[in-house]
Structure 1
Amino acid sequence: MRSLLRKFLGFSIIIVSFLLGWQLWEYDVYQEVPLNVPAQGQRIDILPGTPFKVITRSLAEKGVINKPHLLEWRARLQGKAGKIQAGEYHIAPGTLPAEFLDMLVAGKVVQYSFTLVEGWSVQQVLMALKQNANLTQTLAGIDARQLMPALELEQAHAEGWFFPDTYHFVRGTTDKALLQRAYASMRRQLDEQWQQREKGLPYNNSYEALIMASIIEKETGVPEERQEIAGVFVRRLQKGMRLQTDPTVIYGMGEAYDGNIRRKDLRTDTSYNTYTRNGLPPTPIAMPGLAAIHAALHPAAGDSLYFVATGGGKHVFSATLEEHNAAVIKYQLNGNRRKFSSNPDKHNKAKP
C-alpha cells in the first residue's frame, strides 16, 4: 500500500512538474508573440476603476489577446494589476504583452494636437475649436465678446491673449481647458519678454506691447523684418505720428472687409483706424507669436519712418516722406483700390 502511495505521489510530482514546466514554457513563448492588432493599430478606452481582468477578457473576445490568463498572471506577479490607468490607448502593431501592460501602468494614453496659428483672430480660433472632433465642446454659442467670462478670465477683450503654439491633449479635454492653457502660456511669455524689454519704449504696460506685437504679426511674415518694422512704429509713436497701418483698419471694418482697402476705408473713423486716430488701437488685432512680441520689445534702431511692400512679402523702408512716396509709386500704386496682403504701405500721400 505504501509502495503504491509512493508511486502515486511520485507520478503526481512528475505530472505537476510537467504541467508547471509546460506553463512556464507557454508563458515564455507567449511573451514573445505580439498582440493581434490590425495594420493601423487598435484603439481601446479604459474607464476609471475597470479591473485588469475585464480589460484582458474584453480584448480576448475581440481577438487582440490570446490566453488572457497569462497576462493577468504576469500583472498579479508584478503587482501591476491594480495600477492600470484609465484613458484612451493605441496598441501599435508589434506590441508585446509586457509592453502593453507597461503602457497601461504608465498611462501612455493617446495624445491629440491642436495648433493655434500666429496671426489668427479670436473668431478663427473659435471656428477651429468647433471643427476639432477630439475636443469636448463647451463653448458652443459663445462669441468673442463672451469668451473671457466663459473662460473665467479677467481680461475684457479676448483678442491676442492666446499664445500661438501646438497644444497636445487627451480625449475628454474641453475647448475651455485648452484655451485656458493657451492664455496661461501667453501670459507667461509676455511677462518674461516684458521683464527683458529695451529701455525707453513708448508703452505704458505689457498689454500695449501685446497690441503692438499683434500689428507687427499682421504686417509681415518675414522674420528678419519684424524688428525693423517695430522700429518704424516705435519711432512714429515717439514722434506723435499716427501709425497708419492697414491691418488695424481692416480689423475695425470687421465683416465689411472684402479683401480690398479703399480711400474711403482709410478715412472712415473706427476705434481701430490708425489713419484717423493717434496711438495704438484699443486692443490687439490678432494673436502674435513670440518673435513678434520680442520685436515689439526690441525694435531695431534707425531713422526709417515709413515702409511699403515690394512683393514677395518684403518691404522697402524710408526715412522721409519723399522717399516713401517714390517707393509707393514704384511698388504699390494701383488706383483707388489697395489689396491687403499683410504688407501694406504707410502714410501713402501719393496721388491715385
Structure 2
Amino acid sequence: MPVAPLSIDSLRLSVAPMMDWTDSHCRVFHRLLAPRARLYTEMVHANAVLQGDRARLLARDPVENPVALQLGGSDPALLAGAARVGQEHGFDEINLNVGCPSDRVQAGRFGACLMKEPTLVADSVSAMVAAVDIPVTVKCRLGVDEENDYDRFAGFIDTVASAGCRIFFVHARNAWLKGLSPKQNREVPPLRYDWAYRIKRERPDLIIAVNGGIATVEDSLLHLQHTDGVMLGRAAYHDPYLLHRLDAALSGGETLPRAQLLRAMRPYVESRLDQGLALKHIARHLLGLFHGQPGGRAFRQVLSEGAHRNGADWTLVEQAIAATESRLQSAA
C-alpha cells in the first residue's frame, strides 16, 4: 500500500508517549498549547488493541490530530492487526516502541529488549507497513546495557529502514535492562546526542528526531540544527508552557498568556463534566502550567486540592487562576 506522506515540518516538534500521562485529556491540552506539534498516545500493547476495550484504550478527540498511536509488541501479525485498527480509528501514524526498559515490558519481549533483535523489529515493521497506508515509525534507544558500538546502532537503523520505516525517534541513551528502574533509565545512562546527529548525517534520506533530556527552547533549537525534529517528554508535561513557547518559536507565532491558553480549555472541560467525568482526571494535566512563575505553587495547590471534591467544576479553575494572578501582582 502507498504510505501517506508525513512532512518533516509536522515532526519538528513532538511530545513523547508517556505511560499514565499522555491520555486524551492531556493531548487536548497539549494541542491547545502547541497547534503544530505531533502528539502520541501512551503505549498500548497490540493484544490489548485487538482484544481489549477499544473505546477506552483508543479514546481520541478529533482536536488532537495529528496524533500517533504507539504500539508495544513483538508479534508481526498481531502488530499488523493492531495497526490496522489504529488507522480505522483515525490515527495519523503508528509508532512501534523499541525503547521502554521496564521489567514487565521485557517479560513480554517488547520494548527496549527488541534492540537486540533488529530482524524481528524489521519483520514487525514490514507487516505493519503492508497493513496500513499511514506512516509506520519507530522509537528506539541507542542500544542496551553496556553496548557502546555505534556501528551496531547504525546496523539496527539500517535493518529496520530496509523494512519500510523512514522515520526514527531516537532516545539518545542506552537502556539498561537490569539494575535500573524505568525512572533511572531516563536519567542515569549518559546522553549521546552525537549518535543521533551522526546517523542523520550518514543517512540523510531518513527522518531522525532526537529525544531525551531536552528541557529548554534553546536546547531544542540547537538539536534542530543537526536533526529533523525534537521530541519532548517530561519537560513538556511538568512545564507545559515550554511546549507553547517552542511551538511559537518554530512557527514564528506569538506566545499567549498562560491564563488565556487555559481558558481555551473551558469548552472541552465543561463538555466532559456534563458527561459525568470528574474534574480531577483533566486537572492533573494542567498543574504545571505556571511552573517557575510567582503563584505557580498557589495554582497547583488550589487545583490539586479542589479537583478531587465532588461537584468540582470550572469555577475551581478560575479560583486557581485568581490565586496565581494575586501572587503575580504581589511580586510585581
Instruction: Tell me, yes or no, whether TM beats 0.5.
Output: no
Larger CA Rg, structure 1 vs 2 = 1
> What band does the TM-score fall into relative to the shorter chain?
under 0.3
Taking structure 2 as the reference length, the TM-score comes to 0.21
TM-score, structure 1 as length reference: 0.20
